[in-house]
Amino acid sequence: MPELRQNLATREWVIIASERARRPNAFSASEQRLLTEEHNSYEPDCPFCVGNEELDLEVERFPANGAWQTRVVQNKYPALAKEGALTRVFNGVQRRIAGVGYHEVVIEHPRHNTTLALMTPDEVQIVLKTFQRRGIEISKDHRIEHIIYFKNHGATAGASLLHPHSQIIGLPVVPSSIRRRIDEARRYFDDTGQCVFCSMLEDELAQNERIVAMNEHFAAFVLYAALSPFHIWILPRRHSASFLQAQPDELAGLASVLRDVVRKFYFGLRDPDYNLIIRSGPVKEPGSVYFHWYVSLIPRVNRAAGFELGSGMYINPALPEASADFLRSIEI
Ligand SMILES: [Zn+2]
Ligand SMILES: [Zn+2]
Render pLDDT for 135-152 as a digit per residue (tens, 0 to 9).
Answer: 999 999 999 999 999 999
Q: What is the pLDDT of residues 179-223, one digit of tens each?
A: 999 999 999 999 999 999 999 999 999 999 999 999 999 999 999
Residue 308: the pLDDT is 83
Output the pTM of the full model.
0.96
Ligand lying nearest the CA atom of residue 281: 2
Catalytic, out of 103, 163, 165, 217: 165
Cα–Cα distance between 282 and 147 in angstroms, integer? 7
Question: Any idea what the CATH number is for the domain that residue 150 is in?
Answer: 3.30.428.10
Per the domain annotation, does 4 fall within a domain?
A: no
Mean pLDDT of 232-250: 97
| Known active-site residue 165 | yes
62 alpha carbon – ligand 1 mean position (Å): 17
Could you tell me the residue range of the domain that residue 213 belongs to?
9-329
Residue 215: the pLDDT is 98
pLDDT category at 307 given cuts 50, 70, 90 is confident
Using the predicted structure, report yes or no on whether residue 120 has a pLDDT greater than 80. yes
- Report how many domains make up the chain: 1
Using the predicted structure, report yes or no on whether residue 233 has a pLDDT greater than 80. yes
48 alpha carbon – ligand 1 mean position (Å): 5
Cα–Cα distance between 221 and 213 in angstroms, integer? 7
163 alpha carbon – ligand 1 mean position (Å): 4
Residue 24: the pLDDT is 82
Output the CA torsion sign for 270, 273, 279, 283. positive
Per the domain annotation, does 278 fall within a domain?
A: yes
Residue 148: the pLDDT is 97
Per the domain annotation, does 2 fall within a domain?
A: no
Q: What is the pLDDT of residues 251-286, one digit of tens each?
A: 999 999 999 999 999 999 999 999 999 999 999 988
Burial of 284 (0-12, 13-18, 19+ CB in 10 A): exposed
